A = this chain, B = another copy of it.
Amino acid sequence: MSGGVQGYDPRTGEPVGEAVPETSDVVVDELARAGAAAFPAWSALPAAERASVLDAVADALDASSDALVSLADAETALGVPRLTTELKRTTNQLRLFGEVLREGSYVEATLDSANPDIVPPRPVLRRMLRPLGTVGVFAASNFPFAFSVAGGDTASALASGCPVIVKAHPSHPGTSRETARIVASVVPAGVFGIVHGQEAGVALVKHPAIKAVGFTGSTGGGRALYDLANARPDPIPFYGELGSVNPTVVLPDAAAARPEGFAAEFVGSLTLGVGQFCTNPGLLFAPTSLVPALADAVAAAAGGPMLNERMRDSYRSGTDDLAASGLADLVAEGTAPTEGWSVEPRLFHVPVAAFAENLEKLTEEHFGPAAVVVTYTDPAELEPVLSRLPGTLTGTVHAAESEHEHAGRVAEALRPVVGRLIFNGWPTGVAVAWGMHHGGPWPSTTNPLHTSVGATSIRRWVAPVTYQSWPDALLPAELREGNPLGIPRRVDGVLGVH
């Protein structure tokens, strides 16, 4: 029998607090049934009232900020400043979904009048998006707030009208339990639950009352759960954000303009949070002349403790294997504290021709502060290689004023494999906004149509229903004559507030 899920201090490797008991299958079943029982009332609540509940969750979390941040810092070693900001980001995210609900267009209300004269004839149609049912959310290791218990998946699913059951990440069980306690104290009974332990996660994905799953984590773990969701007698949507190498291309003039400045910014993005970001820039395409500056910057950079022992071991063995493979040269290594689960930043180098020959191996993600710099002499060598990259959350281009046209061609080569294209910036730092897309083709996510950040992430949890020839009094308010909620709607094909 397991002793439960134990949190550890990555700075020392010592236990933090008491172990949180693993959730039994019986309790998983109870929570899933409670979600199903709570679904009709939660989904029928007017959107503006659900928005108020989300605001209240945000307020409650903000009110406990000091305690939550302190708990999370002990379990993750991510540091108080970063965690304070991350919690604020998390509560701002909850409030953004409140705005989305009040604005109302997320339901895509669509009204078609009848037309008996076309082929086929059209009856009166009223379409809108409605929530799927209870959602399972797998929390991430690397964001104990923003992609965890009350993070984006939970916020968007609750906003949509779906109850949520979170599978806590074992790297921060205490933080997860405390966050869950706060969320559960605000939302109606049954609308929110939390489970701990790997078996409970499996039971959640297989439970008939779970109608969709969100996941943020490794490609291996995500694929296993994705396969499980698809193997159900009734497969359910599984939205996984998995691995991403986040290519960055620096064109010659941009690199020549300020090699040291560029290298410093690159290494800043690479080592932020000990490289534990899904948008970590792990693959850099640069002129050969830039390598010395990059190597110097990495050598001067400090690493730090990773979130858990397994991730530290995986980073070490993955980058050791790469160095031993001879496929790329280890050209620089930074420093790290000797205690706890610390790792050093590492930089590898390979010329683009050799990269093209071993592309699959050299685009494996090494979660942590490691990057491969792929050097070119002529940037025309890049485009055929870029279009062969595996799916990735972001692609970045650095270009001088003189190189804009070339940057456009690079972007077109990258576009089919990326979710977000960044110009003269860095992929770390994901804004929470209407226009954000945090997704991309496999393996960066399991479904290229969806985002786990931003206003449109709510769409993962809703499906259309069309009411045909339905009496107005029986329709949801969003679809009634006269637009009582005053929301944007499409009426006979035309968008507007009507």
Interface, chain A (partner B; CB < 8 A): 40, 85, 88-89, 92, 99, 103, 105, 108, 110-112, 118-123, 125-127, 130, 132-133, 211, 226-227, 230, 234-237, 390-391, 404, 407-408, 411-412, 415-416, 418-425, 429-437, 439, 441-443, 446-449, 451, 455-456, 459-460, 462-471, 473-474, 488, 490, 492-493, 495-496
Q: Which residues of the partner chain B approach A211 to less than 8 Å between Cβ atoms? A: 441
Contacts A469-B423, A495-B495 known; A433 to B125 CB distance under 8 Å? yes
23 A-B residue pairs with CB within 8 Å? A103-B493, A108-B456, A120-B430, A122-B433, A125-B431, A127-B434, A133-B416, A234-B441, A234-B442, A411-B470, A415-B465, A419-B466, A420-B468, A421-B465, A421-B466, A421-B467, A422-B468, A423-B474, A425-B468, A425-B469, A434-B490, A437-B466, A449-B460
Q: Are B88 and A119 in contact (CB under 8 A)?
A: yes
A408 to B448 CA separation, bound complex (whole angstroms): 36
Looking at the complex, which one of B235, B424, B434, B493 makes contact with A434 (CB distance below 8 Å)? B493
A462 to B450, CA, bound (A): 10
Given contacts A423-B471, A425-B468, A469-B425, contact A99 B493 (CB under 8 A): yes
Instruction: Give Cα A105 to B122, complex, Å.
Output: 22
> CB distance A425 to B85 under 8 Å?
no
**When the two chains form their complex, are residues A92 and B112 in contact, meaning their CB atoms are under 8 A apart?**
no
Q: Within 8 Å CB of A235, what residues of B?
A: 226, 442, 446
- A421 contacts across to B, CB distance below 8 A: 465-468, 470
Minimum CB distance partner of A459 in chain B: B449
The interface residues of chain B lying within 8 Å CB-to-CB of A118 are: 92
Tell whether, in the assembled complex, residue A469 and residue B424 are in contact, meaning their CB atoms are under 8 Å apart. Answer: yes
A120 touches B424 (CB 8 A): no
**Other-chain contact of A466, B89, B435, B470, B473 (Cβ < 8 Å):** B435
Query: With A111-B435, A423-B471 in contact, is A448–B119 under 8 Å at CB?
Result: no
Q: Give, as a whole number of angstroms, the nearest-CB distance from A394 to chain B.
A: 8
CB distance from A428 to the nearest CB of B (A): 10
Q: Quote the shortest CB–CB distance from A78 to chain B (angstroms).
A: 15
- A200 CB to nearest B CB, Å: 24
Task: Using A448-B237, A495-B488 as known contacts, say yes or no to A431 and B40 having CB atoms under 8 A apart.
Answer: no
Flag if A431 contacts B89 (CB, 8 Å).
no
- B-side contacts of A407, CB under 8 Å: 471, 474
Q: Is A119 a contact of B105 with CB atoms below 8 Å?
A: no
Closest chain-B Cβ to A41's Cβ sits at a distance in Å of 11
**Residues of the B chain whose Cβ atoms lie less than 8 Å from the Cβ of A451:** 464
Assembly CA distance A481 to B234 (angstroms): 45
Residues on the B chain within 8 Å of A474, using CB: 404, 407-408, 411, 423
B490 lies within 8 A of A420 (CB): no
A234 touches B466 (CB 8 A): no
Q: Give CA–CA (A460, B455) in the complex, Å.
A: 19
CB distance from A40 to the nearest CB of B (A): 7
Contacts of A88 in B (CB 8 A): 119
Nearest CB on B from A242, distance (A): 11
Contact of A435 (CB < 8 Å), options: B110, B408, B430: B110
From B431, B447, B493, contact of A120 by CB (8 A)? B431
Once the chains bind, are B420 and A439 in contact (CB under 8 Å)? no
Residues on B with beta carbons closer than 8 Å to the beta carbon of A488: 495
A447, A464, A496: residue with the most chain B Cβ atoms closer than 10 Å: A464
Complex: A493 Cα to B465 Cα, angstroms: 25
The answer to whether A419 touches B464 (Cβ under 8 A) is yes
Point out the residue from B123, B425, B434, B471 that lies within 8 Å of A425, measured CB to CB.
B123
Q: How far is the CB of A103 from chain B (nearest CB, A)?
A: 7
CB–CB B120/A465 < 8 A: no
A436 close to B391 (CB less than 8 A): no
Complex Cα distance, B431 from A492, in Å, reads 13
Q: Are A40 and B412 in contact, with the CB atoms below 8 A?
A: yes
Partner of A465, one of B112, B419, B429: B419
Q: Which residues of B contact A420 (CB under 8 A)?
A: 465-468
Cα–Cα distance between A235 and B227 once the two chains are bound (Å): 10
**Docked complex Cα distance between A85 and B495 (Å):** 30
- On whether the beta carbons of B437 and A465 are closer than 8 Å, the reply is yes
**Residues of chain B contacted by A471 (CB below 8 angstroms):** 404, 407, 423
**A119 and B464 within 8 A (CB):** no
List 10 additional contacts besides A234-B441, A415-B465, A437-B464; criterion CB under 8 Å. A108-B456, A110-B435, A120-B431, A125-B435, A236-B442, A408-B474, A411-B474, A421-B468, A423-B469, A495-B495
